[in-house]
Structure 1
Amino acid sequence: MTMKLSGVLFFPVTPFDGEGALAEDVLAEHLGRGLRHDPGAVFVACGTGEFSALSQDEHARAVQVAVEVVRGAVPVLAGAGGPLGLALAQARAARQAGADGLLLMPPYLAHGSKAGFTAYVRAVAAELPVIVYQRGPVVLDPADVVELARVPGVIGLKDGLGDVDRMQRTVLAVRREIGPGFAFFNGLPTAELTMPAYRGLGVELYSSAVFAFAPEIAKAYFAGDERLLTEFYAPLVELRSKAPGYAVSLVKAGLRLRGLDVGPVRAPLTDLTPEHEAELDLLIKTGLSLVAA
C-alpha cells in the first residue's frame, strides 16, 4: 500500500478559544488559508497540533474538521499514538471521519522489545495506513525499519532523530529490500534547515511548520530560494532554541502575528515572551520581504 505525497506538507496548529476549548471555526479558517497555497497533504492533530494536549473528543473533532474542509483535495493524515488503547481509538475515529492515514507517535512510559513495538505498529496499521515517527524512545536500526516496512499498512518513516549515518543506512536497506514505494520524511523541527543534508540521503519529503504561518516563505524555499536558509530559517532555529517547546509556540505566535487568533499553547508548553515574539515578527517580515523581492 502506498500514498503519493509530494510538495510542502502542512501541519496545522490546533486553535483554542478564550475558554481554552477547541476553536473549530478558527481551525477551519486556518486550514482554508493553508489550502490556498497548495500543500501536498494535511497532517492534523500531530506535533504542531499539540497532539499530546488534546482529549480524545478534541482529537476526533479536529480530524473531522480537517476532512470536511479539505474535501479530498489532498490526503489528510491524523496523529495517533501513546497507549495502545488510545492509539487504536484515535485511529478508528480518524478512519470513521474519512482520514487517509496516520502519523504514529511513539508509545509512552512503557518501553517494550522491538517485537513489541512491531506488534504495536501492526495493530494500529490495521485501521489506516501508518507513517511511523522515529523520535524519543523509538530509535530504529535499518533492519527494524525493513521489518516494519513489511507490515501491511506501514507506508513510511518520519525521522525526528537527525542521525544522518543511521538514516543513510536505513534508506539504503529499505530501498534494497522493499523498493521505492516506502516513503521517508525529515521530521526534525524547522526541517527546512536540514533538508540539504536529507536530500543527500535521498529523502525529499519534510514537515513544514513554517507553512502553517508563512506559507509564502515555505513555498519559496521549496521552489529553491536558498537565501531563506541564512536570512530566515537559521535565525528561526536560534529563536526556537531559546525555550523548550518553542517549536510549537513559534507557530501559534506566527499565526497570531499574521492576523489569525489561534489562542495560546496548552501546558506544559508556554507561549513566547514579548521579546521573543518581537524577534519572530521581525523574522517573518524579513522572510516575506525576501520572497516579495
Structure 2
Amino acid sequence: MTPRRGPAAHPPTPTTAARQREASAMQFDGILFFPITPFDDKGGLDEEVLDRHIRDGMEHRPGGVFAACGTGEFHALGAEEHARVTARAVEAVGGRVPVVAGAGGSVRTAAEQAAAAADLGADAVLLLPPYLVGGSQRGLVEYVRAVAGAAGVPVIAYQRANMVLTPETAAEVAQIPGVEGIKDGVGDLGAMRRIVQAVRAVRGEDFAFFNGLPTAELTFAPYASVGVPLYSSAAFAFAPEVATAFYRAAHAGDPLADRLLTGFYEPLVALRDRAPGYAVAMVKAGVRLRGGRAGAVRPPLTDLTREEEALLADIIDAGLRAVEGE
C-alpha cells in the first residue's frame, strides 16, 4: 500500500516514482462497475450479499470497481459501514482491478474517509462534492487539496452539484499532488471539452476523465468525442451481459450498440426519470429482478412501485434478448 501522506495544507510534489505508482492504480481497462450496497431485512449492511454481488460482477471482467459511491448509497452510510463496504470490496476484487472508494461531505469527514479507505487497501478515492454549503472556485481547490493531502492514494474529483469547475480551476485541481482524475456529472459538453484541453496542457495524457452522468451509456459517444472515454455503468450492477455487450459494440462501431440504446437504455432512462433517486432505486430493483438480494433503499430515496418493477423487468428482458440475438 502506498504510504499515507500527512495532512499538510500544501503537501510536497511527489517524486517521479510516486507519480508512477499513483498512475498504475488508475489504469482502467474496461467498463466501470458501481456495486450497490445491499441491506438486510432489518435495514443493516449485508456484507455477505455485497461480497457475492461484487464477485458475480467480477465474472464479467469490469475495468474497475467503485464501492460506496453514488450507486452504493454513499450518502446513507455511516463511517463504520463505509469502512466495511470498502474492506469487502477490496477482498472480493482481490487485486484484479482497481478498487475506488467514495468520500465526501465536510472536508474533515471526506479526509477521514479517504485515509481510512487507503488504509483498507483501496487503490483510489472518488471525491464527491461537499454538501449543503457552496464554495468559490478557490474554496473548491482547497477542498480537493485537503482531501488529497490526507488520502495517500490517487483522488478522482467528482464534478457535480455544488462542485462545478471552470477550465482554469480544473487545471489547478489536476496539478494538486495525488489528484489523478476528474469525473463529470454536469453534462455540459462544451465546458468539458475546455476542461480536457486545459488539463491536458498542464498534465499531458497521464490524467483520467470519466463520464459520470446517470445511465452514461446514452452519452458515451459525445463524451468520447471530447476526450472522455471512461464512464460509469449503473446497468452493469444488474445486467452485466447487456452493459458489457454495449461497451464492446460501442467501441467496435457495431450496430448492436444503437439497438441497445433504443431498446434498453432509452426506456431505462425514461423509467429512471420518473422520480428523484430512481437512478439508485432502479439498480437495486434490477438486482432483485435478476435473483439477487439488495434490500430497500434508505431514506430519503424511495423504491420503485410494483408496476414500475414490472416495467423494469420488461426492459431487462428486451436488453437480454437483443444481446442473445447476436
Tell me whether 1:245 sits opposite 2:277 in the alignment: yes
Match of 2:206 in 1: 181
What are the residue-to-residue correspondences of 1:279-290 with 2, within 5 Å? 279-290=311-322
- 2:45 partner letter: L
- Aligned partners of 1:173, 1:93: CA distance in 2, in Å? 32
Between the aligned residues of both structures, percent identity stands at 58
Unaligned runs of 5+ in 1: none
Alignment of 1:210-229 (within 5 A): 210-224=235-249, 225-226=256-257, 227-229=259-261
Q: CA shift at 1:168, angstroms?
A: 0.8
Separation in 1 of the partners of 2:219 and 2:284?
22
Task: Supply the distance in 2 between the matched residues of 1:114 and 1:146 (Cα, whole angstroms).
Answer: 12
- 2:188 is matched by which residue type in structure 1? D
Are 2:122 and 1:99 aligned? yes
SS of the residue corresponding to residue 37 of structure 1 reads coil
Quote the residue 1:123 is aligned against: 146
TM-score, normalising length from structure 1? 0.98
Q: Which amino acid aligns with 1:292?
A: E
| CA shift for structure 1 position 145 | 0.6
Asked whether the equivalents of residues 6 and 205 of structure 1 are also in contact (C-alpha less than 8 Å), the reply is no
Task: Identify which of 42, 62, 66 aligns with 1:43.
Answer: 66
Separation in structure 2 between the aligned mates of residue 113 and residue 40 of structure 1, nearest angstrom = 34
In 1, Cα distance between equivalents of 2:203 and 2:83: 33
CA offsets 1:244-286 (integer angstroms, 9 cap, x no match): 1000011000000000111010000000011110010000000
| Residues 119-128 or 91-100, more deviating | 119-128
The 5-angstrom pairing of residues 61-80 of structure 1 reads 61-80=84-103
Q: What corresponds to 2:39 in structure 1? A: 16
The aligned amino acid for 2:314 is: L
CA apart distance, 1:107: 0.5
What is the rounded CA distance, in whole Å, between the counterparts of 2:171 and 2:207 in structure 1? 10
Match of 1:26 among 38, 49, 52: 49
Distance 1:147 1:78 in 2: 23
1:162 aligns with 2:194: no
Query: Please, what is the CA RMSD of the aligned residues?
Result: 0.8
Secondary structure at the counterpart of residue 236 of structure 2: helix
Q: Secondary structure at the match of 2:146?
A: helix
2:227 aligned with 1:202: yes
2:157 corresponds, among 132, 138, 143, to: 132
- Which letter maps to 2:195? T
Q: How many residues align?
A: 293
- Indicate if the aligned counterparts of 1:43 and 1:78 stay in contact, CA closer than 8 A: yes
| SS of corresponding position for 1:223 | helix
